[in-house]
Amino acid sequence: MQPVSTHWADIAAMKIIREQGDKEIYTLASGITPSGNVHFGNFREVITVDLVARALRKLGKKVRFIYSWDNFDTFRKVPADLPNPEVFEKYLRESIARIPDPWGQAASYSDGRCKIFEKELDTVGIAPEFIYQESEYAKGAYAENMIFALENKAKIKDILDQHRTEPLPDTWVPTVVYCSKCKKDDMHTQEYKGNGNYSYHCSHCDNKETFAIKDSSNLKLIWRVDWPMRWAYEKVDFEPGGKDHSSEGGSFDTGKKIVKELWNREPPVYLQYDFVKIKGGGGKMSSSKGDLYTLSDLETVYEPEILRWIFVSQRPNHDFAIALDEDVFKIYEEFDRLEAKYFELRDQPSLDNKDKTSLRVYELSSVTEDIKNIPVKKRASFRMLSNRLQICNGNLKRAFEKYYAEEGHDWSVFEPRAVRAWYWVTHHATGDFRYTLREGALDFVFSEEQEKAVKLCYEWLAKTDLESLDSKVINELLWEHVVNQVSCESKDVFQALYQCLVGKDKGPRLPGFIKELGSETVLSLLKV
């Protein structure tokens, strides 16, 4: 069997088949602790699994894609973005699945975050099987495995101690327990008593209790044991992880030893992914600090297919930054070129490896997995839209009718991009890019040469048919008839023209801008 293409997801799919053998169904896993808003950096893990799942299905394999919400974890720090953070101090050390939602819209703190991210994933075509770990522990799904881990804690301790400067104490247990009275996990002592029984002494409320593990809903394994236990329980064949889990002695390194030593199972095929940042932002995003962007935040600027494409076109082990500045234009332009190439080449009988991979990138970027019947899409340039919408003061219908309707654009394709272009203009564009056409008198003192330049521009445009010229030709003529005919510097010429048009020293690229405005509008603004 040969890989579909040289794309990394197709190569990873082949590796899974080779290392895990030919199976009836392959289980791929992902997950996160919803301790705060699930941010865009977390999305990298999910889409990595989704792309590999698609690659396996392309090879005719059945896939189970599970996403574990580690919502039985402890509430350790109050995130900075809560509406009433001081109120939530009292819930520290409790399970995030058992404290209220700060916004009062969900069943619990964790449930609100889970539902938001699940909805976001749906918009980009990702629909895993969600597993809620608090529910799994509560119904006793892992009881036997917890007892087994506790009875073999010496083996686990030996593995973990290999990567510690100081060994774990003999009283250590690979479990966390929440007190049945105060609900916190702050214990003075806890101990496995044997025969499936467990005891603890709560240091927060002084409660003492001994219980049968199979009857308890308050006990869980620590992360470094919980992860490999679930590999065995769910028979996981593939799961990626961030660089923070991937170092020597990290949770994957110890996990693969634990799953093999205790559960006699080979670890899943593993793929490390690097962090994603926002261009111009800080380092790794942090839910607890509140300095993050969610998938919904990025969808205000990027269409779902382009959000997918950003990750599809990057190898997982390369870190990169998402642009919200004017580089957004480049992102859209690159995607549009890829889309045009796809529709140009998709029906050709033979392609070289480079073209096959390009087409595969587009296929994996699609929200819809089967895209055979998707028609050619006529896209409006995001860059041009951002200018034209400003000319129309953000009126999408007016811009569509003025510039796109007669060109054969479809409103259903146009509108989603136009909404995002206007959002980008109003929320992310710099002052140099944003503008409104000048109204009223000029508040600027021109030099003699600048006045001459404005007059020459008016005379040139009065006898020029802008509609018949493209931006490149307009630029050449602008320099020939205006810029090169005055003795001041070119920047002074452009300053004068921009002051006439938008009342600012700078603005959109002038040749394309004056073509978009049209001769009548430009001439009326050049009368000074």
Total domain count, the chain: 1
Q: Provide the whole-model pTM.
A: 0.89
Confidence band of 284 (pLDDT split at 50, 70, 90): very low
Task: Enter the tokens of residue 119.
Answer: 């909805």
Q: For 406-429, what is the mean pLDDT?
A: 94
pLDDT digits (tens, 9 = 90+) for 336-352: 999 999 999 988 888 88
Within a domain: 488? yes
Within a domain: 117? no
pLDDT, residue 291, reads 54
Give the closest residue to 478 by CA, choosing from 505, 499, 508, 458: 458
pLDDT digits (tens, 9 = 90+) for 170-228: 999 999 999 999 999 999 999 999 999 999 999 999 999 999 999 999 999 999 999 99
Give the closest residue to 461 by CA, choosing from 476, 477, 483, 450: 477
- Contact in structure between 399 and 422 (CB atoms under 8 Å): no
Q: For 6-17, what is the mean pLDDT?
A: 96
According to DSSP H, which parts of 139-250 are helical? Answer: 143-151, 153-161, 223-234, 243-246
Confidence band of 367 (pLDDT split at 50, 70, 90): very high
Within a domain: 487? yes
DSSP β-bridge partners for residue 29: 66
CA distance 36 to 231: 25
Within a domain: 516? yes
Domain extent at residue 489: 437-528
Residue 129 backbone class (left: φ over 0; alpha: ψ -120 to 50; beta: rest) = beta
Residue 288 confidence (pLDDT) above 50: no
CATH of the domain at 466: 1.10.10.350
DSSP β-bridge partners for residue 239: 270
Within a domain: 504? yes
Residue 235 backbone class (left: φ over 0; alpha: ψ -120 to 50; beta: rest) = left
Residue 128 confidence (pLDDT) above 80: yes
Within a domain: 514? yes
Query: What kind and span of H or E run contains 329?
Result: helix 328-345
Confidence band of 280 (pLDDT split at 50, 70, 90): low
pLDDT, residue 289, reads 46
Length of the chain: 528
Within a domain: 496? yes
Q: Are strands 25-32 and 62-69 parallel, antiparallel or unpaired?
A: parallel
Q: For 405-432, what is the mean pLDDT?
A: 93
Residue 256 confidence (pLDDT) above 50: yes
DSSP state of 215: G
Measured CA to CA in angstroms, residue 260 lies from 247, 255, 352, 438, 480 at distances of 19, 9, 42, 71, 75
pLDDT, residue 283, reads 43
Give the closest residue to 224 by CA, choosing from 276, 179, 168: 168
pLDDT digits (tens, 9 = 90+) for 489-518: 999 999 999 999 999 998 888 998 898 888
Task: Enter the tokens of residue 13.
Answer: 């799919």
CA distance 119 to 34: 14
Least confident of 63-77, 290-304, 452-466: 290-304
DSSP state of 167: P
Tell me the CA end-to-end span of the chain in Å, nearest whole number: 73
pLDDT, residue 348, reads 86
Give the count of beta carbons closer than 10 Å to the beta carbon of residue 228. Answer: 29
Task: Enter the tokens of residue 457.
Answer: 């521009």
pLDDT, residue 434, reads 86
CA distance 189 to 198: 11
What are the φ/ψ torsions at residue 366 (nearest 5 degrees)?
Answer: -70, 140
Give the closest residue to 181 by CA, choosing from 155, 208, 158, 162: 208
Within a domain: 355? no
CA distance 302 to 123: 12
